[in-house]
């Protein structure tokens, strides 16, 4: 009974909170009407950033989507577990039905080693039905194919083909079919 009440309270909260966030951020946050976003999740956009949420995305407590000068685009029914961080200076695109475990970090940029005030950015494309385990870090310029599985604790710096499982251990990748 309480679960049903909590679910409807979250839906009602999102019906009011998301339009409020969109207005506060100059309408640079776009979303479908039905979302499941925790009241303790944070969506932030910079002056030229945008966030686009597909239908029925689920963002748990502590999730941060920050589009500083880039675009974050989530497909339908994307799920981010607790304390995930997604920061974009270029573009991060995530396909529908992708699932992210707790504490996942996704960054499409890093600092220019010659000038710490500048960023080097490359887009990140994550396909549909991708499963990303807990504590994974996904870095700039990576493409992850549809149906890929990334093991907990992995650091992804290279492309991952579709329907492949990857586990990073001591900087090496192991394929498991």
| Residues with catalytic function | 111
CA angle 42, 119, 139 (to 5 degrees): 65
Distance between CA atoms of 98 and 107, rounded to whole angstroms?
Answer: 17
The conformation of residue 113, written as its DSSP 8-state character, comes to T
Contact 127, 107 (CB under 8 A): no
- Helices (runs of H) and strands (runs of E) counted in the chain: 1, 22
- Residue 127, burial from CB neighbour count under 10 angstroms (0-12, 13-18, 19+): buried
């Amino acid at each position: 009974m309480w679960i049903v009440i909590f679910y409807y309270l979250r839906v009602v909260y999102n019906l009011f909170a998301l339009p409020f966030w969109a207005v506060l951020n100059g309408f640079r946050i776009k979303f479908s009407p039905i979302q499941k976003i925790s009241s303790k999740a944070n969506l932030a956009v910079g002056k030229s950033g945008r966030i686009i949420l597909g239908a029925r995305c689920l963002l748990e407590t502590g999730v941060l989507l920050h589009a500083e000068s880039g675009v974050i685009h989530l497909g339908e029914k994307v799920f981010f577990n607790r304390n995930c961080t997604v920061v974009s200076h270029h573009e991060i695109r995530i396909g529908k039905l992708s699932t992210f475990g707790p504490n996942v970090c996704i960054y499409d940029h890093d600092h220019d080693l010659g000038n710490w005030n500048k960023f080097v950015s490359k887009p990140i494309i994550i396909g549909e039905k991708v499963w990303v385990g807990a504590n994974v870090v996904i870095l700039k310029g990576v493409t992850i194919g549809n149906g890929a599985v990334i093991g907990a604790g992995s650091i992804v710096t290279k492309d991952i083909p579709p329907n492949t499982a990857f586990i990073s251990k001591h900087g090496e990748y192991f394929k498991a079919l």
